[in-house]
Structure 1
Amino acid sequence: MYAFDFVKPATLAEAIDALASEGAQALSGGQTLIPSMKQRLNAPATLVSLTGIADLKGVRRDGDTLVIGAATPHAVVAVEAAAHYPALAALAGGIGDPAVRNRGTIGGSLANNDPSACYPSAVLASGATIVTNTREIAADDFFQGMFTTALEPGEVITAVRFPIPQKAAYAKFKQPASRFALTGAFVAKFAEGVRVAITGASEGGVFRWTEAEAALSASFDAGALEGLSASADGMIGDLHGTPAYRAHLVGVMTRRAVAAAQ
């Protein structure tokens, strides 16, 4: 690992100032950044920790919306969101292992946008809003490909606003070592229709399965998905599964999520 400076601001304004310096990079949970630095794949001159900023932490309900601070660890979301958005809490409780859940944060996961991460599917399926220090970004506009988001340099996620659905569930086929999703499906039913987001399957990262959304909006039942299949084009192929295998899992996990939501 290369030498670097470390600062831990107490306020968001201090963090933004620190990130303006050349070579500075934000550090939230560090579950991807720190290993990449150890492998000398990333060499920021300064790490700006966001974990000391109280305003970026916490879970609270605001009417029909659940607001989660970006620096809130997965383990806290798993507990404090349970009474308001059980599907989201269950997703958070199934990320990684206890060490990852107590260090990793929702903001860090979304900013990294790993194609197999769990949170992006919940954000996209919920139609959530990502709040930054400068603006608000709709989930449909935020995710822009593998490890790519709409965030600008120096922009920091401060919170995520989740509309609370009538019914929702997440089903994940786990990679047994990492507990990342080989394929995961988050299904959320709202009065205006159903949203389905798939993670772990596509080379482009998280995506909405619009054909399933249309079928489930007409009839929210796993049987409504019979005869539907996702295309293998653009799916990830690796030692864990072929593109066709992951395309098959898209249907399997979506049906399981719908059944669980019932």
Structure 2
Amino acid sequence: MKPSAFDYHAPGTATDAVALIAGLGDEAKFIAGGQSLMPMLNLRLAVFDHLVDLRKLAELRGIERRGDAVWIGAGTTHSTVGRSTELATAVPLLSRATPLIGHFQIRNRGTLGGSIAHGDGAAEYPAVALALDAEIEALSPRGSRTIPASEFFTGMWTTDLEADELLTGVSFPTWNGRSGFAIEEFARRAGDFALAGAAIAIRLDAASTLDRCAITLFGVAPTPVRVTAVESELLGRTIREIDADEIGRRALDSLDTVSDDLHGPAAYRRRVGATITARAWRRAVDEATAAREGSE
């Protein structure tokens, strides 16, 4: 199938883009890489009279170190993120998530901002943003604002963005010290969305005590979920006291509800999610532990 007819717009600046979308109203939609929107348009699951193309906006592309964070423009493609040696060092969890996204054709066209703005609960970048306490920048005719990732994902494919707001960039805080990062997921086929996944970041002090921890689950709920209660219970414990399998079980047990659909019943997702979380935890611990060994 093909999409219904629409008018095409290609503004030259972000300011022009938000002014245009505000003027056109509910019948207009931003499009960047189009990897989520175009299939919906082709299947007539969504219909818009106007598409506002963001690909000419160079100001939305790029990777910049800004103090204790790395800013990534919303129009930066997945493949650019994956190739960045700076990100591999500064925000390794983001780099490791990138190869899990779809196929190389999708990564060549899809954008970081598009993925986060789409807010799919099974997608990798939203989970990483939540795990790392990223800050999302938005622009509208009223000006700009910053939205913490913890407040950004509000429901299935819905976010805190207003209808006339454009996601312009995302800042990812960097971690120092003996840190370890891992992202694991289970999908029926390579490139499919995850039925269950976990993004984990930890940091150990000199005594191998956990002094920072982030555990985010994805693919198991309408939005990515940060299991903060489990994180809090782990802080202050030495790494040898913590059992990875127990963390996996507790992380999934902490969820009030788990997605139950034709792709996988809730009980199945809980079992798989617990295993995936335990696997990611072990990998993060191995990296954090090796960081000390390598410095001695």
TM-score, normalized by the shorter chain, greater than 0.5? yes
| Paired position in structure 2 for 1:121 | 127
Which residue among 238, 242, 249 is the counterpart of 2:272?
Answer: 249
Q: What's the CA shift for 1:248?
A: 1.8
| Paired position in structure 1 for 2:167 | 157
Q: Which runs of 5+ in 2 are unaligned?
A: 205-210, 288-296
Kindly provide the CA deviation profile for residues 32-68 of structure 1, in whole angstroms up to 9, marking residues without a partner as x: 1111111111111111111210110111222321111
Verify: 1:183 aligned to 2:196, yes or no.
yes
In structure 2, how many angstroms separate the alpha carbons of the residues matched to 1:92 and 1:72? 12
Which residue among 259, 270, 273 is the counterpart of 1:236?
Answer: 259
Larger radius of gyration: 2
Kindly provide the CA deviation profile for residues 129-173 of structure 1, in whole angstroms up to 9, marking residues without a partner as x: 001112000011111111111111110111101111233211111
In structure 2, how many angstroms separate the alpha carbons of the residues matched to 1:11 and 1:52? 8
Identity across the alignment (%): 36
Pick closer, same or farther for the CA change 1:164–1:131 going to 2, 3 Å.
same
| Paired position in structure 2 for 1:14 | 16
Aligned length: 261
Pick closer, same or farther for the CA change 1:252–1:113 going to 2, 3 Å.
same
Verify: 1:64 aligned to 2:83, yes or no.
no
Matches within 5 A, 1:2-41: 2-20=4-22, 21-22=24-25, 23-41=27-45
Q: What's the CA shift for 1:249?
A: 2.3
| Paired position in structure 1 for 2:223 | 205
In structure 2, how many angstroms separate the alpha carbons of the residues matched to 1:222 and 1:125? 23
In structure 2, how many angstroms separate the alpha carbons of the residues matched to 1:40 and 1:92? 29
In structure 2, how many angstroms separate the alpha carbons of the residues matched to 1:219 and 1:85? 24
Instruction: Name the Cα RMSD after superposition.
Output: 1.9
In structure 1, how many angstroms separate the alpha carbons of the residues matched to 2:203 and 2:97? 19
Instruction: Give the AA of the match of 1:227.
Output: E
SS in structure 2 of the partner of residue 83 of structure 1: helix
Any conservation in 2 of the 1:222–1:255 contact (CA below 8 Å)?
no
SS in structure 2 of the partner of residue 158 of structure 1: strand
Pick closer, same or farther for the CA change 1:221–1:184 going to 2, 3 Å.
farther
Relative to the length of structure 2, the TM-score reads: 0.82
Q: Which runs of 5+ in 1 are unaligned?
A: none
